[in-house]
């Protein structure tokens, strides 16, 4: 009696397993448990875990904090739009605004230092995508997400938007500079 | 009350069709295929635009076409076809009349009106919000209204399906338990009911928001509830296409499940665990804790994964047992070598199974791991994964079933049988390449839903490495191959259904029972006193050793790929 006909035994849950099925179920279950334990394991021993720190905020409040940082730590500007490049002190709170269609301001961080990066959108959903590291985080309006981040290698990185946010989505890209720490 | 019950027995397959059900199965299948045609043309436009060397459409058209492509394929093609499968699994396999055909027609027309309304809204140009339609980006109210109407229609159709099960049970049209394929269809329908409930919870307020009755919808709340709907809707497909695998194994090989208990329990696992597993879409979102993410993805998702791993063994295992019992009992793989590779129902089904498992399954688990998700979230890896599950898995399985349905349901011969032989390979391999190259590009960071990876017009553009462009080019070439395969399918099925040679069988009789009850069918077999055991087939106590070896190859690839990704993750910047 095939799969398109009623089973021969009325009570299907008493039908025995073949050895091949039993063996496979045990193996598959063990593997599922390994995958299960990998996540808590990485929280303890791994270094790459997305932060759980987030606060509700408003566009006005978030922009005010970003503006204060820009006023204090801008070191130069880039492009014809004169986008400020901000070099905050290591360990500081750093603000990155996502809005149609730019990341503001441009950040310059020091290699090996740790920063508290606050990311929020002031309008629609955006996607923070750091290239070529390929770290990808969803950015919501109204949720200020604090990610503690340690750049490991100097260089010029890109931040691109990878959540569809309208017609000029493909222009929503910016830079992130990682420089060697200043000699004391 | 007199019940009009016209049955016909298909002379070539022995299947019994209730005529009102038959008409509904046909029309739902046809509506599905029309959606596939529209979605397929759009697919070609999307592919040609994402091919950096071609970039066919301007951005506004690209996002419009991408939105319509997603909805026509993931929602309209698949769900229309699934409703056809539900009616088939209930009325034909249980040999009973369809409950309330009139209501089923109301459901059908609601779905048609919904699908057209939604497409009109998208093509008007003010609803390019993608399949996910994340707020606060808004669409025209008709966009949401179309989806709601379609969902209500699908819900009504599910209840007609459940009603048909009740009819079969009370009129005793089958013996004992329902067949495994029907059981799988029940799983799909149960999942569909709470999927649609979740859809209503999110789409109705969003519709009210779009007309100005609700002032604010929280984006995180939207994503959380939307995925309870969006993820589960894909789990309906998994339950449906796994049922189709079992059905084709039964039709082509006369295969029976190795153990009804194992296969059915695996379906039950889908019902129990998939809803919570939709949390894995929110792994990169702020405002949700790791505990919540791990709890919902780990136990729930891994038990659903376990279910798929079980089906991945039991379907080919059932085929192997059937083949070995037919005498193809030599060595590990004689059963597979001697399989009917020229039969598109089989080749399509087998490629669907292998592609779904290796490409869709493994990449899905990788994506659904809390930390690993960081390195692929919203990259083109994600559509790479779901083209493997939904297109190689579901669409190819449905295509394979269609080749069986044309002679039995539409009573037409295939117009181009030689083309059918090749079609599943062209389409299957094209889609597998398409998925793999997308995943490759995603691993290099190429974003999804993005008009131009060269960032034309951006003040501070990013330059992707040459390999990423190569991947996208290969993706497009594979996509074109898959489109050719899709066109071969459409030409053949549409041609056969309308112009194919009618199958005339001498002695074909229509069984009409105009009034009262149909006589209960006589048992086709006597229940054996002891459970059947598989005689002397197999190797070393394993009835399906070849399948077991394939399963171990699968597991090895899975483990390797999983840990390679952890290795990759460990090289990115420390985060906490
Ligand atoms: Cu954006």
pLDDT for B522: 41
If you measure CA to CA, which chain B residue comes closest to A131? B445
Give the distance (Å) from ligand 1 centre to CA of residue B471: 24
Which residue shows structure tokens 């070539």? B12
Question: Which residues of chain A neighbour B13 with C-beta distances below 8 Å?
Answer: none
Does the CB of B268 have a partner CB in chain A at under 8 Å? no
Does the CB of A160 have a partner CB in chain B at under 8 Å? yes
pLDDT at residue B440 is higher than 50: yes
pLDDT at residue A184 is higher than 60: no
If you measure CA to CA, which chain A residue comes closest to B95? A5
pLDDT for B531: 43
* Segment (H or E) for B294: helix B290-325
pLDDT for B533: 55
Over the stretch B34-60, which tens digit does the pLDDT of each residue have? 999 999 999 999 999 999 999 999 999
Size of interface A-B (CB pairs under 8 A): 337
Over the stretch B534-550, which tens digit does the pLDDT of each residue have? 667 888 778 899 999 99
Cβ–Cβ below 8 Å for B137 and A125: yes
Give the distance (Å) from ligand 1 centre to CA of residue B284: 15
Angle formed at CA B293 by CA B75 and CA B219, multiple of 5 degrees: 55
CA-closest candidate to residue B224, choices B168, B174, B131, B288: B288
| CA R_g for chain B | 24
Q: Are B174 and A6 in contact (CB under 8 A)?
A: yes
DSSP per position, B25-69: HHHHHHHHHHHHHHHHHHHHHHHHHHSTTT--S-HHHHHHHHHHH
Those residues with Cβ within 8 angstroms of residue B364's Cβ, 6 or more apart along the chain or in another chain: B305, B385, B389
Residues composing chain B: 576
Does the CB of A35 have a partner CB in chain B at under 8 Å? yes
* Rounded Cα–Cα distance for residues B172 and A35 (Å): 45
Lowest mean pLDDT among A66-75, B112-121, B277-286: B277-286
Distance from CA of A83 to the nearest CA of B (A): 10
**pLDDT > 90: percent of chain B:** 75
Over the stretch B488-519, which tens digit does the pLDDT of each residue have? 999 999 999 999 998 876 655 565 544 334 44
* Rounded Cα–Cα distance for residues A31 and A38 (Å): 11
pLDDT for A112: 95
Which residue shows structure tokens 């190689």? B392
Cβ–Cβ below 8 Å for B378 and A47: no
pLDDT for B176: 80
- ipTM score assigned to the predicted complex: 0.95
Nearest CB neighbour to B286, from listed A16, A54, A164:
A54
Q: Where are the beta strands (DSSP E) in B275-393?
A: none
> What is the rounded average pLDDT of the residues A121-133?
96
Distance from CA of B505 to the nearest CA of A (A): 24
> What is the rounded average pLDDT of the residues A117-136?
96
> What is the rounded average pLDDT of the residues B203-216?
94
Does the CB of B374 have a partner CB in chain A at under 8 Å? yes
pLDDT range class, residue B8, cuts 50, 70, 90 = confident
Residue B539 or B307, more confident: B307
Dihedral over Cα of B29, B32, B34, B36: its sign: negative
- What is the phi/psi pair of residue A45, to 5°? -105, -20
Nearest CB neighbour to B576, from listed A2, A79, A148:
A148
Give the distance (Å) from ligand 1 centre to CA of residue B222: 18
* Rounded Cα–Cα distance for residues B328 and B252 (Å): 15
Interface test with A, best of B460, B545, B551 (most A CBs within 10 A): B460
* Average pLDDT in chain B: 90
Give the distance (Å) from ligand 1 centre to CA of residue A159: 11
pTM of the shown model: 0.93
């Amino acid at each position: 009696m095939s799969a398109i006909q009623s089973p021969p035994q009325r009570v299907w849950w008493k039908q025995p397993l073949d050895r091949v099925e039993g063996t496979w179920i045990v193996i598959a279950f063990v593997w599922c448990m390994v995958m299960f334990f990998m996540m808590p394991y990485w929280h303890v021993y791994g270094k790459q875990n997305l932060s759980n720190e987030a606060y509700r905020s408003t566009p006005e409040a978030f922009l005010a904090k970003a503006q204060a940082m820009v006023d204090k730590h801008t070191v130069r500007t880039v492009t014809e739009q004169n986008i400020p490049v901000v070099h905050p002190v290591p360990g500081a709170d750093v603000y990155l605004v996502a809005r149609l269609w730019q990341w503001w301001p441009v950040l310059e961080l020091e290699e090996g230092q740790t920063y508290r990066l606050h990311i929020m959108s002031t309008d629609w959903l955006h996607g923070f995508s750091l290239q070529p590291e390929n770290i990808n985080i969803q950015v919501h309006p109204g949720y200020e997400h604090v990610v503690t981040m340690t750049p490991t290698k100097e260089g010029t990185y890109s931040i691109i938007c990878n959540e569809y946010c309208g017609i000029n989505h493909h222009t929503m890209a910016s830079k992130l500079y990682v420089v060697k720490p200043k000699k004391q | 009350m007199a019940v009009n019950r016209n049955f016909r027995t298909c002379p070539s397959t022995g299947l019994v069709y209730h005529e009102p059900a038959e008409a509904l199965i046909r029309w739902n299948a046809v509506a599905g295929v029309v959606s596939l045609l529209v979605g397929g043309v759009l697919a070609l436009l999307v592919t040609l635009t994402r091919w950096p060397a071609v970039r066919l459409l301007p951005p506004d058209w690209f996002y419009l076409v991408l939105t319509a492509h997603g909805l026509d394929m993931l929602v309209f093609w698949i769900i229309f076809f699934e409703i056809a499968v539900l009616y088939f699994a209930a009325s034909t396999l249980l040999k009973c009349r369809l409950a309330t055909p009139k209501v089923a027609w109301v459901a059908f027309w609601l779905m048609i009106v919904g699908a057209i309304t939604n497409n009109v809204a998208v093509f008007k140009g003010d609803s390019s919000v993608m399949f996910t339609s994340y707020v606060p980006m808004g669409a025209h109210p008709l966009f949401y209204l179309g989806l709601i109407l379609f969902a209500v229609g699908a819900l009504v159709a599910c209840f007609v399906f459940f009603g048909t099960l009740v009819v079969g049970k009370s009129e005793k049209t089958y013996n004992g338990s329902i067949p495994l394929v029907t059981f799988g269809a029940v799983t799909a329908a149960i999942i569909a009911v709470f999927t649609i409930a979740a859809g209503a919870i999110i789409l109705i307020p969003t519709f009210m928001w779009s007309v100005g009755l609700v002032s604010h919808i929280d984006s995180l709340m939207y994503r959380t509830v939307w995925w309870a709907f969006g993820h589960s809707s894909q789990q309906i497909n998994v339950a449906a296409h796994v049922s189709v695998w079992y059905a084709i194994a039964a039709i082509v090989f006369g295969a029976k499940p190795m153990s009804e208990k194992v296969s059915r329990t695996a379906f039950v696992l889908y019902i129990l665990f998939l809803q919570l597993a939709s949390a894995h879409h929110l792994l990169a979102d702020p405002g949700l804790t790791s505990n919540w993410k791990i709890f919902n993805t780990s136990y729930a998702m891994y038990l659903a994964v376990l279910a798929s791993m079980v089906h991945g063994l039991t379907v080919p295992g059932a085929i192997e047992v059937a083949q070995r019992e037919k005498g193809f009992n030599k060595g590990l793989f004689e059963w597979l070598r001697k399989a009917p590779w020229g039969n598109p129902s089989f080749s399509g089904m087998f490629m669907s199974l292998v592609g779904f498992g290796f490409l869709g399954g493994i990449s899905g688990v990788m994506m659904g791991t809390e930390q690993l998700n960081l390195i692929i979230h919203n990259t083109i890896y994600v559509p790479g994964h779901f083209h493997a599950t939904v297109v190689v898995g579901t669409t190819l399985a449905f295509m394979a079933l269609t080749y069986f349905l044309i002679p039995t349901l539409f009573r037409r011969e295939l117009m181009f049988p030689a083309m059918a032989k090749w079609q599943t390979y062209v389409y299957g391999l094209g889609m597998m390449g398409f998925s793999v190259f997308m995943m490759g590009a995603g691993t290099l960071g190429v974003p999804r839903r993005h008009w131009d990876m060269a960032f034309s017009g951006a003040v501070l553009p990013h330059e992707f490495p040459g390999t990423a462009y190569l991947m996208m080019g290969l993706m497009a070439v594979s996509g074109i191959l898959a489109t050719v395969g899709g066109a071969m399918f459409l030409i053949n099925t549409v041609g056969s259904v309308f112009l194919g040679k009618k199958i005339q069988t001498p002695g074909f009789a229509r069984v009409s029972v105009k009034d009262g009850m149909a006589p209960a069918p006589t048992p086709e077999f006597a229940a054996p006193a002891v459970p059947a055991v598989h005689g002397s087939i197999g190797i070393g106590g394993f009835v399906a050793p070849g399948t077991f070896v394939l399963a171990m190859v699968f597991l090895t690839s899975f483990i390797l790929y999983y840990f390679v990704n952890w290795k990759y993750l460990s090289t990115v910047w420390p985060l906490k």
